[in-house]
């Protein structure tokens, strides 16, 4: 195995992803955990937006959002998603495709409590993806929620996590003359063993 191949080495793709993310935290200027999340609506029209990945578990990738937002509705309806992590500082990226389930139990409660008070109140105040008349209207809603919920608001029932259990993970590293290195981990079902394939650039 070459020195370049060493960054792809291992028997656990989640461990490799965590290692790459940890390296990116040392070099990426802003939001090394930012992912471009792709969903599809009921007609099959795709959507993509940036969100922050909050955890790489033993078998899934987790982020949090408003379940009533456009992405929340699309994720719930389709049960599928894809995303890419790209780090310009490392010239690497991770692509993931998988099946989606909600994380709306104690783990979501704990993460919600870890956020700043203003962010917790903002989650209550924002009707994410819905039309908004003005920023003043949003701030008025934040003030209203602050009076109602106080300094220790519980997690909103419409806000929580999504867990993406991948059926495919691709690790990519930039190469000279566009001769990139690509390794795809794939499986037919979540319970299956991974198959690792080196891909042409």
Catalytic residues, which ones?
A: 178
Sign of CA dihedral 48, 75, 12, 104: positive
62: three-class secondary structure by DSSP? strand
Q: How far, rounded to the nearest angstrom, does the alpha carbon of residue 117 sit from its chain's CA centroid?
A: 22
The CA distance from 180 to 46, in Å, is 27
Q: Could you give the CA distance from residue 7 to residue 23 in angstroms, rounded to a whole number?
A: 11
Note the maximum CA span of the chain: 61
How many Å apart are CA 52 and CA 31, to the nearest integer?
8
């Amino acid at each position: 195995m070459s020195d370049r191949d060493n960054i792809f080495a291992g028997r656990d793709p989640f461990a490799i992803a965590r290692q790459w993310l940890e390296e990116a935290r040392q070099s990426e200027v802003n939001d090394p955990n930012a992912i471009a999340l792709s969903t599809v609506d009921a007609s099959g029209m795709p959507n993509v937006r940036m969100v922050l990945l909050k955890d790489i578990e033993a078998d899934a990738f987790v982020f949090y959002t408003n379940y009533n937002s456009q992405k929340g509705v699309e994720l719930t309806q389709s049960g599928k998603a894809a995303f890419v992590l790209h780090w310009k500082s490392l010239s690497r990226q991770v692509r993931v495709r998988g099946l989606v389930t909600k994380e709306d139990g104690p783990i979501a409660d704990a993460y919600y409590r870890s956020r700043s008070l203003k962010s917790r109140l903002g989650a209550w105040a924002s009707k994410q993806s819905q039309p908004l008349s003005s920023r003043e209207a949003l701030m008025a809603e934040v003030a209203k929620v602050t009076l109602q919920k106080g300094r220790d608001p519980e997690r909103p029932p419409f806000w929580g996590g999504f867990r993406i259990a991948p059926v495919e993970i691709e690790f990519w590293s930039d190469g000279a003359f566009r001769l990139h290195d690509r390794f795809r981990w794939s499986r037919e079902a979540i319970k299956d063993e991974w198959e690792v394939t080196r891909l042409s650039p």
